[in-house]
Amino acid sequence: ARTTNENEMTHTRRAFIQSGLAMSALSFFPKAGSAATPEFQVMTAQSGAVQLAPPDYPKTEIWGYDGKFPGPVIRVRQGARLQRRLVNKLPQATSLHWHGVRISNAMDGVAGLTQDAIPTGETFDYDFAVPDAGTFWFHAHNRSVEQVARGLYGALIVEEPIAPDVDRDEVLILDDWLLNPETAQLDPDFEAVHDRSHAGRRGNFVATNGSFNSTLNVSQGERMRLRLINAANARIFVLGLSGLKGWVMAFDGMPLVTPSEISEPIILGPGQRADLFVDVIADEGESAHLVRLEDGQGFAQTEFRVTGTLASAVRDVPQVLPPNPNMDVPGLEQARRIRLNMEGGAMGNLDAAILEGERKTFRQLVDANQFWAFNGTVGMTEKPLASLSRGETARVEIYNDTSFPHAMHLHGMHFREVLEGGEVGPLRDTLLMFGGETREIAFVADNPGKWLFHCHMLSHAASGMMTWLEVA
Ligand code: C2O
Ligand code: CU
């Protein structure tokens, strides 16, 4: 009996010691790892079904973050650290780009340039600070022409430290979906030759936040901040106001120095954003609208039903939004000059171009489903368009020698357009250019890394309109 007891003792002690070791091991390792694990919120890229079309139609199969559409609105304070663990439950590899955020390069989410695409079943941890207050968005950046069209995007709102004087703050994500008119399912031909060689993939079903009859109840006299985001693959939104008086306060997440009262249509190319402050002036019982102008007609993009009246109706012109930090106006004199010719497409004059190191005739490019070139080269190259030293100012003169508009987006840094007489325009991250135009942008190359520079008409990006810059 005694032996047994000793054995039991031994077992127990050993068990105790072992569990003690295990305990101390546990209490040790979480400390080392705790900076990484517990803070990350999980976001899962997966399929889902949403009622996009009217209720007598079936739900539309989409891909979304957490399977939802509209995607999550992430709201953080300026300067905050943002941590998201992206879990890929899609049938193809993905990555996540934070559009317009002056981010550290490794977190920029460009599959093939700043990270490997995340295979099905795997995860990637995005971890970065948000230096600027404003309206940003995030979207898939692998096979974007398909993944964004399927719904993989959401709004990233970075709040000013002192809340501006508005009564409400609304995110309005504008998109057009290409749906089969009978089944309400997405047209699965994401690589359509016509889309790639012409104006891009344009939808037949225009929506705000996924709703074709987007409606909000408001009061007369209310001042709203409307955060407009063009998430469409190719559609240029031309927008006006009715029953509303408004000011443009910011473009592409960056406050304007002088807000301008809206008297002309606001034009938003794919990827672009505008922050408006609008006052409801329509009478109670009526409706005000954000109007989409198209083919000489106006369509209700969002309806604001005036269901009440605020007592304190009369408002002053809004105060400007505070500028974001460290935005030097580029000195144009000593700048590095870069030239970018946009070529190709239908009705263009591209005879031949380099594709994957080989010279191809336009006919051969068409056979490869490639249509566009920058400076005679189709798509990404080994060497960047330019290697800039940190702090250097760059001026890029862009000539749109094609028959189509393009929306040129620079990752990692905002730029200003160089205007006549050496003036510079507001900070932007995407420049909408029409056929035949020559425009020039300038920026201070203050963010080190490899930065994509491409057309945000995603069918164009997929068929040649993509290059990159390096800041060392
Ligand atoms: Cu909004 Cu390279 O993308
Ligand atoms: Cu384009």
Residues 282 and 181 in one domain: yes
Residues 371 and 466 in one domain: yes
Q: What is the 271 CA–ligand 1 centroid distance (Å)?
A: 7
288 is a domain residue: yes
10 is a domain residue: no
Q: What is the 60 CA–ligand 2 centroid distance (Å)?
A: 27
Q: Domain total for the chain?
A: 3
Output the residue whose Cα is nearest ligand 1's atom 3.
99
Does residue 66 contact residue 72 with C-beta atoms inside 8 Å? yes
Residues 265 and 295 in one domain: yes
Q: What is the 15 CA–ligand 2 centroid distance (Å)?
A: 67
CATH, residue 52: 2.60.40.420
Choosing from 116, 138, 159, the residue where a domain stops is 159
Q: What is the pLDDT of residue 1?
A: 36
Q: What is the pLDDT of residue 341?
A: 98
Residues 264 and 362 in one domain: no
Residues 150 and 176 in one domain: no
Q: Which ligand neighbours the alpha carbon of 153 most closely? A: 1
Q: What is the 294 CA–ligand 1 centroid distance (Å)?
A: 25
Domain interval for residue 444: 336-471
Q: Which ligand neighbours the alpha carbon of 99 most closely? A: 1
Distance CA 335, CA 376 (A): 24
Pairing of strands 60-65, 96-99: unpaired
Nearest atom (ligand 1) to Cα of 110: 2
Nearest atom (ligand 1) to Cα of 454: 2
Nearest atom (ligand 1) to Cα of 271: 1
Nearest atom (ligand 1) to Cα of 139: 1
Residue located via tokens 């290697």: 387
Using the 8-state DSSP alphabet, how is residue 187 labeled? P
Q: What is the pLDDT of residue 260?
A: 85
Q: What is the pLDDT of residue 327?
A: 87
Q: What is the 79 CA–ligand 2 centroid distance (Å)?
A: 33
DSSP string, 286-308: SEEEEEEEETTEEEEEEEEEEEE
Q: How far apart are the first and last CA of the chain?
A: 76
Does residue 69 contact residue 48 with C-beta atoms inside 8 Å? yes
> Of 172, 153, 279, nearest to 215 (Cα)?
172
Q: What is the 413 CA–ligand 2 centroid distance (Å)?
A: 20
How are strands ordered across the β-sheet holding 297-309?
215-220, 297-309, 287-294, 237-242, 266-268
Q: What is the pLDDT of residue 38?
A: 55
Residues 260 and 340 in one domain: no
Please tell me the pTM assigned to this model.
0.91
Choosing from 124, 159, 194, the residue where a domain stops is 159
120 is a domain residue: yes
* Amino acid identity for residue 181 in this structure: P
Does residue 149 contact residue 205 with C-beta atoms inside 8 Å? no
Q: What is the pLDDT of residue 313?
A: 63
Say what the alpha-carbon torsion angle 303, 309, 310, 316 is, to the nearest 10 degrees.
Answer: 60
Q: What is the pLDDT of residue 31?
A: 39
Residues 154 and 203 in one domain: no
Q: What is the 456 CA–ligand 2 centroid distance (Å)?
A: 6
- pLDDT (tens digit per residue) in 251-303: 999 999 998 899 999 999 999 999 999 999 999 999 999 999 999 999 999 99
* 179's tokens: 């749906």
25 is a domain residue: no
Residues 262 and 385 in one domain: no
Nearest atom (ligand 1) to Cα of 452: 2
Nearest atom (ligand 1) to Cα of 411: 2
Q: What is the pLDDT of residue 422?
A: 86
Choosing from 137, 159, 181, the residue where a domain stops is 159
Output the residue whose Cα is nearest ligand 1's atom 1.
99
User: Cα–Cα distances in Å, from 54 out to 59, 183, 215, 298?
Assistant: 9, 12, 14, 21
Q: Does a cis peptide bond (omega within 30 degrees of 0) precede residue 70? A: yes
Q: Which residues of the chain have pLDDT under 50?
A: 1-37
Q: What is the 144 CA–ligand 2 centroid distance (Å)?
A: 14
- pLDDT (tens digit per residue) in 117-131: 999 999 999 999 999
326 is a domain residue: no
Q: What is the pLDDT of residue 424?
A: 95
3 is a domain residue: no
Q: Which ligand neighbours the alpha carbon of 462 most closely? A: 2
Which own/partner pairs from 56-63 qualify as long-range (CB within 8 Å, at least 24 positions apart)? 57/183, 57/184, 58/183, 58/184, 58/185, 59/184, 60/177, 60/179, 60/184, 60/185, 60/186, 61/185, 61/186, 62/150, 62/151, 62/186, 63/90, 63/147, 63/150, 63/151, 63/152
Q: What is the pLDDT of residue 242?
A: 98
Distance CA 249, CA 81 (A): 25
Using the 8-state DSSP alphabet, how is residue 118 labeled? B
Q: Which ligand neighbours the alpha carbon of 455 most closely? A: 2
2 is a domain residue: no
Q: Which ligand neighbours the alpha carbon of 273 most closely? A: 1
Cβ < 6 Å from ligand 1: which residues? 97, 99, 139, 141, 271, 409, 411, 452, 454, 456
ipTM over 0.90: yes
Residues 301 and 368 in one domain: no
